[in-house]
Amino acid sequence: MTKKLNILRIAIAQLNPTVGDVAGNLAKAREARADAARQGADLVLYTELFLAGYPPEDLVLKPAFLRACERAAEDFAADTADGGPGVIIGTPLKRKSGTHNSIVFADGGKIIAERYKLDLPNYGEFDEKRVFQAGPEIQGPVNFRGVRIGIPICEDIWGEVGICETLAESGAEILLVPNGSPYYRAKIDVRHQVVIKQVIECGLPMIYANQLGGQDELIFDGASFAIGADKTLAFQMSQFEDAVDVTIWKRTDNGWVCSQGPMSKIPEREEADYRACMLGLRDYVNKNGFKNVVLGLSGGIDSAICAALAVDALGEERLRAVMMPYRYTSKDSLRDAEDCARALGCRYDIVPIFEPVEGFLHTLTQLFEGTKEGITEENLQSRARGTILMAISNKFGSMVVTTGNKSEMSVGYATLYGDMNGGFNPIKDLYKMQVYALSRWRNSHVPPGALGPSGEVIPKNIIDKAPSAELRENQTDQDSLPPYPVLDDILECLVENEMGVDDIVARGHDRATVTRIEHLLYIAEYKRRQAAPGVKITRKNFGRDRRYPITNRFRDRG
């Protein structure tokens, strides 16, 4: 007969796996288990599909990948024969009932249980019904050293299917939940409320273990936590930092109570957004094997904050900033770009584009004869810069960081094969006013883990001056766009909140402006389909969250 534990030491492994790197993820899991063992843990809880990396998308359709994941799970289970902590780890498993998003529970050198995710998310960034089958039925709690543990998987606690309540009725004493929950602004509050709701319904404490790290456009921010049966926060792990924290739970007459665990402070809004962008850029560059990055430093706010993010994420020695002046580049911009590069300590090159642009214009003289000069000629400047950046990328193996913000990408204020060139965009999901807010924040703070310097890294003049693409004489963005506070509010209404034109006008906006912005939003879809991936910050980014047709004649006319 198994003796019941009255004290249970549960380690939460909040780690940064890489999709597809099964061997590397297993090595991370083993290292974390050894760390947890040194801390006296009885059990280690890992995150959703940890051995595969999350989300693995169509890799799950590849039999060789599934076999590699299952072999890794079996090898890890065998490790537990050493008498150390048991493990709960996520992996895809192919069974007679289908391919499942699963966990294996191992102890004593063998797998003692498997559990399969029941509620497969199929909204926003999630597309699990494409590659997984739901578990055939709710499976009861697992008896681990005399403690009955329920293991719902991520979405199993977000829906209304009563999985947690059923586990409680089946005798579960505590719920351990592996998660792959991506970041968006204020997401932690949403997670807390989801868990509190489930705790109220089932009456059991719940541990929420969340993945860390960047995977393409998604950022997993960690911030693992637990809510006790009394509906209070039992512990809170750090956000944007990997950790293996051991929490101590004691059996009482009223169930399991957390007596020891971390209580980390969660960053405020600007810090959280900045750190998400920084983590996303760092992981995209490092996980894809780039040694360094290059970007066009124009003297404007967008390229300046991207330069700061690159130095913070990768270090000054891994960024090359290139100023590419033309006849419309102001002296202020030349000075501001140089001051920014000097403040950040990165390499700074000046590559004038007069000759390539004039060469294009000369080549096209006969073809363009009799036409007025305009956007076509302006775009040639942007495309010359884009070509130079891609040439540097090809020659030196540097990834191009592209720097367009969400306001510009919404209305098509960007040039295909020009300033849109690049491999990754850390500010793709930040509206212009958010870019300003984060720039001011960075000048006063150095985020944890940043490799960049303290102090003013984005010159004050860049923040204060009117934004301009500088593609013609005395140009400013507001020549063709509403003021950014107005534009950003209209766009947030249209994109994040799917509001109708009448409702947006009721907020105090001019109807003609709203309908024009709606039109620009729709007709720029083809550009966004060709844009580089970038960090997701809002509830609805451009990409998997928002799948509008390119060919689209709908306009909201009330």
- In order along its 558 residues, the chain shows pLDDT tens digits of 456 789 999 999 999 999 999 999 999 999 999 999 999 999 999 999 999 999 999 999 999 999 999 999 999 999 999 999 999 999 999 999 999 999 999 999 999 999 999 988 888 788 888 999 989 888 899 999 999 999 999 988 988 778 999 999 999 999 999 999 999 999 999 999 999 999 999 999 999 999 999 999 999 999 999 999 999 999 999 999 999 999 999 999 889 999 999 999 999 999 999 999 999 999 999 999 999 999 999 999 999 999 999 999 999 999 999 999 998 888 999 999 999 999 999 999 999 999 999 999 999 999 999 999 888 989 999 999 999 999 999 999 999 999 999 999 999 999 999 999 999 999 999 999 999 999 999 999 999 999 999 999 999 999 998 776 656 666 566 667 889 999 999 999 999 999 999 999 999 999 999 999 999 999 999 999 999 999 999 988 988 888 888 888 888 886
Q: Which residues contact 381 (CB under 8 A, 6 or more apart)?
A: 326, 328, 353, 357, 418, 471
Q: What is d(CA 413, CA 430) in angstroms, rounded to the nearest whole number?
A: 14
For residue 354, the one-letter residue type is: F
What spatial distance separates the first Cα and last Cα of the chain, rounded to whole Å? 71
Is 301 annotated in a binding site? The answer is yes
pLDDT at 551: 86
Active site residues: 48, 117, 154
pLDDT at 1: 47
For residue 42, report the phi and psi dihedrals to the nearest 5 degrees.
Answer: -90, -30
Is 24 annotated in a binding site? The answer is no
Is 386 annotated in a binding site? The answer is no
Is 407 annotated in a binding site? The answer is no
H/E run at residue 515: helix 511-523
Q: Which residues contact 27 (CB under 8 A, 6 or more apart)?
A: none
Beta strands in 262-415 (DSSP E): 293-296, 319-323, 347-350, 399-400
Task: Show the CA angle centred on residue 164, arms to residues 162 and 170, nearest 5°.
Answer: 105
Q: Is 422 left (phi over 0), alpha (psi -120 to 50) or beta?
A: left
Is 439 annotated in a binding site? The answer is no
Q: What is d(CA 422, CA 420) in angstroms, rounded to the nearest whole number?
A: 6
Is 291 annotated in a binding site? The answer is no
227 neighbors 206 (Cβ within 8 angstroms): yes
389-401 b/e with 16+ CB inside 10 Å = b? bbebbeeeebbbb
pLDDT at 4: 75
Is 166 annotated in a binding site? The answer is no
3-state secondary structure 125-154: CCCHHHCCCCCCCCCCCEEECCEEEECCCH
pLDDT at 18: 97
Q: What is d(CA 137, CA 114) in angstroms, rounded to the nearest whole number?
A: 12
Is 259 annotated in a binding site? The answer is no
